[in-house]
Structure 1
Amino acid sequence: MKIDQMHHVAYRCKDAKETVEWYGKMLNMDFILAIAEDKVPSTHEPDPYMHIFLDAGQGNVLAFFELPTKPEMGRDPNTPEWCQHIAYKVKDRATLIAFKEHLEANGVEVLGVTDHSLFHSIYFFDPNGHRCELACPDPEEEAMLARMDAVKWQMLEEWSQTKRAPKHAAWMHEKELAKS
């Protein structure tokens, strides 16, 4: 038994139309489906909602719920903003830079490019306050992934025992840390 692929990932949004338009304009995602009901099918709870679906490429679907009868959206105050995010892969660094320029030209504040060794990323927020990441592979990604694969279980075990960052892969962020 094995999962075939992610069917969709769903988040809450403040405004369904604004969200569809923003993801279309900023990340070139197509609007592929809308479902609206007055009752939640799984729980039968009376609660009107708009459920929208966006094409995030290669069979990946990003979905949102607008819930007009619920209290205003918020964040988990115990989870840092940088932690919970949606990451999208782009082809290469040139595409990453083009997206960065496009987002900034449209008034979106962008953090990065951050060099994670395996990949390079930019970060920004959508109109709902969800943190997004665009990441492109490093040309040496395959070799670095093999290096990381060789130590993943040791790292997990050490973390499990100490709750301190194991140093097996400290090399990944040495360039970034040297900049600060």
Structure 2
Amino acid sequence: AVFNTLNGDSNVAFFREYTNAGLNAKDMPVVSVSIAEEEVGGIGAQNIEGQLTAWNYYQTVDSPQNASFVEAYKAKYGANKPTSDPMEAAYTSVYLWKNTVEKAESFEVDDVIEAADGVTFDAPEGTVTIDGDNHHITKTARIGEIRGDGLIYTVWESDGAIEPDPYLESYDWASGLSGN
């Protein structure tokens, strides 16, 4: 497999040359970490059908919150405009901020920071929760497959939201990476 960390238009050239070299998803799958539904259209679904992605959200996530999110988004921006992980993350962030401000009963930064721990939001991707120690959120990990309709469908997901570990503190192999 190829682990793809390319961003933006570089993916168009990469997958064009990948296909020109006679490679395909069945024989040499590519797992991309920056291709969402929006990029599929630019690359061409026919050029990446069957390839895999790693994100926390896909338009096809099956939840009532996501159904409402997708419906409202398409009503405003057009039926042919897909949602994506970056869009959902921005949407979720605004509601997490709102919920944190309401818990703090204040707009003061220090008050909001102090109130952040444990704040949740039932996001389109699933319930997310702020970790007060590191200010990151729990998220469900997903692997998706790009299909011919240009959408990405979950083929694997974690059993639930994963606790954030932005400093790799829970990994023995990372113990000397910070220089401490």
With normalisation by structure 1, the TM-score equals 0.22
More strand by share: 1
Tell me the TM-score normalised to structure 2 length: 0.22
**Richer in helix (by share):** 2
Greater RCO between the two (CA within 8 Å, min separation 6)? 2
